Amino acid sequence: MRLRGWLLLVAGVACAGVLIWALVQMKSQPPEVQFARAARETIHSSIATDGKVEPIEWALARAERGGPVDNITVQRGQHVAKDAPLVEMDATEAKAALTAAQSRIAQAKVDLDVIHRGGRATDLAEISSGLERAKHDLDVAQRNYETEQRLLDKGAGTKMQVDAARQKVDEARLEIARWEKRRTATAASPDGPAAQARLDDAEQAARLAETQIKQSIVRAPIEGTVYQFDLKPGAYLNAGETVASIGRLDQVRVNVNVDEPDLGHVAVGMPVMITWDAMAGRQWDGVVDKTPTQIVARGTRQVGEVACVIRNPNRDLLPGTTVNIEIRSETVANVVTIPKEGVRTEHAQTGVFVLNGDRLVWKQVKTGVANTTRVQVEGLNADEAVALFSERALREGMVVKAVFP
């Protein structure tokens, strides 16, 4: 047991010695510090913000009358010509009303044509004359029939003669009935004013039906791209309801809020660059079109609204889209730049720590144009390694292990 205790004690002392040696070694190793190389390039001083795309020229397509949607001929993002059909509503009743009105128009025109040619007065005269002749023929036929009947009763005539006389009476009566029927039909036909009134009513009904049929098709008010549209077949539209928003999108507008301190660096005509998270890798360019005339409060910020016009040749930036905006207020070419986190202030001096072998050397620099990630510096050469931000305090002459991300 005693031997075992001594062995455990020796092992513990050995482990402690190893641990102490490792700690000493670790403390003697130089700290890792991240570095970046200074680069000679063109740098843009920019103001970064975001905003929503808006059309410069746009119009709303509205339903002129109510009704169910029967057919859809357009989709969101489609380019359409002015007056192109977008949506067709059910027009069955209006088409039936038009057919009926056209039939009444045709009949009224026939009636008026007859009247204008004097047909009705002529017809009435002819009917009156024919009716008088038929009544006279009936009187004659009736007398002849009575005469033939008396002769037959006295044995001086024949039954065949009586039947022939009766047939003449029946024919005269049929002729009178025919003329009476024609007179009734002629009396029932409209006169000139009534026929004209019927024609006017029918034409008004036809115009109303044609208007309803025309209003059943919702058309594009301008040439452009349909950027808002979500109707489905079978939906019901009310009169005046918005069907689609259409705009000319080869150029779009983006209005952005810029903080008051930055407004002094923004001027009309400055270049603007747009990116959209939904289309990574794509960018659109434009210019500042209008600067603000007043400053307004937005929460804790004092901002002015800057209007930018953006070129959109493929019309893929749709209104309502939230985009990232960079207003490039100044550009300088062929200058040395470093990441912004490499610039430090030490003892009221602006400078950087550069790598000399494995040691840090302090260099005072003068900064110039900057953007969100990099800054122009004077006093450095291209390709010099600059220490980036580190939680460890850095100092002149410090030995470090350089790490380049």
Considering the chain, what percentage of its residues have pLDDT values greater than 90? 42
Measured distance CA(363)–CA(345) in Å, rounded:
11
**49 alpha carbon, distance to own chain's centre:** 26
The answer to whether the beta carbons of residues 58 and 320 sit under 8 Å apart is: no
pLDDT at position 53: 93
Residue pLDDT, tens place only, 264-294? 888 999 999 999 999 988 999 999 999 988 9
Question: The tokens of 394 are what?
Answer: 């850095």
Residue pLDDT, tens place only, 231-260? 888 899 999 999 999 999 999 999 998 888
Residue 91's nearest CA partner among 301, 295, 237 is: 237
| Position 375 pLDDT exceeds 60 | yes
| Position 61 pLDDT exceeds 90 | yes
Look at the block and give the residue holding tokens 């990574």. 280
Residue 249's nearest CA partner among 74, 76, 6 is: 76
Say if residue 91 is exposed, middle or buried (CB neighbours under 10 Å; 0-12, 13-18, 19+): buried
pLDDT band at 18 (very low <50, low <70, confident <90, very high): low
pLDDT at position 129: 85
pLDDT band at 107 (very low <50, low <70, confident <90, very high): confident
Q: Is the domain 30-43+334-403 a CATH 2.40.420.20 member?
A: yes
Measured distance CA(41)–CA(45) in Å, rounded:
13
Beta strand 67-72 with 236-237 is: antiparallel
Q: Which of the residue ranges 26-30, 49-53, 58-62, 67-71 would you say has the lowest mean pLDDT?
A: 26-30
Q: What is the mean pLDDT of residues 170-197?
A: 76
| Position 50 pLDDT exceeds 90 | no
What is the third-level CATH fold of 45-56+249-331?
Elongation Factor Tu (Ef-tu); domain 3 (2.40.30)
Q: What is the mean pLDDT of residues 144-172?
A: 82
Measured distance CA(94)–CA(205) in Å, rounded:
10
Q: What is the mean pLDDT of residues 391-403?
A: 90
| Position 342 pLDDT exceeds 70 | yes
pLDDT band at 54 (very low <50, low <70, confident <90, very high): very high
